[in-house]
Amino acid sequence: MKKVMATMMAALLAVLVLPLAAQDRENDRLEECGIVMKEILNVPDNIPQDLLDKAECVLVIPGTKKLAIGIGGSYGRGVIVCRGGEHFTGAWGAPAMFRLIGGNIGLQLGGQETDFVLLVMNNRGANSILKSKVRLGATASAAAGPKGRTADAATNEVMRAEVLTYSRSRGLFAGISLEGANLQQDGNANKQVYGRKISAREIVREGKVGVPAAAQALVSLLNQKSPKNLSEPSSLQ
């Protein structure tokens, strides 16, 4: 009888404790995204302000690791934050949890943990990413982002890209090609953060949830650094 009771108690504790532990992990990830974004925006030659001001959404993927399986495989988890409103002209809103998975990223990582920041530059790119799994360079055009005070020197190919990608490893910040990598929403993580099953689109575009406490630093930072969307009207369609 005592053995049965002990087993039942262990099962009950698992039911209560494991979801809380999973929620804590996601909250830690949200906080880490805020820290990574703040550090990157504070480096001397960071993301050009004019590009950040024209971005509809930002993805932050901290500490992406190279996998042991397969040559060059890698996997990271982070968030997407978008401006509110029909045409992404409002304030930055609640984040949705996302995954970055790719075969060729690992070759660029060189075995090191790497932070990634991705700027989504137009409506079409944002809606593609929020709709389903997206392959960068195929479903959504992507290019290594320019850095520094201005993006005036960027090539036409870069400026036409739907997604601009950046990396930070060993303190070095640079544009990096992530073509071939996949972006997809992390349904289980979103459920842990918001307490129910909810899609990335419902979080980001439909405003069905508020900003979690753990994401306040990230969202506040974006609203402080880039309060207005300065995209040309034609790019908002």
pLDDT of 4-37, one tens digit each?
565 555 444 444 444 556 578 999 999 999 999 9
Cα distance between residue 91 and residue 120, in whole Å: 15
Measured distance CA(134)–CA(102) in Å, rounded: 11
pLDDT digits (tens, 9 = 90+) for 64-112: 765 554 445 567 899 999 999 999 999 999 999 999 988 566 555 555 6
CA distance to 73, 177, 196, per residue, from 202 (Å): 30, 29, 12
Answer whether residue 159 shows pLDDT above 90. no
Q: In whole angstroms, what separates CA 109 from the centre of its chain?
A: 18
- Rounded to the nearest integer, the mean pLDDT of the chain is 84
Radius of gyration of the CA atoms of the chain, in A = 19
Closest alpha carbon to 181 in 113, 233, 134, 128:
134
Task: Read off the pTM.
Answer: 0.84
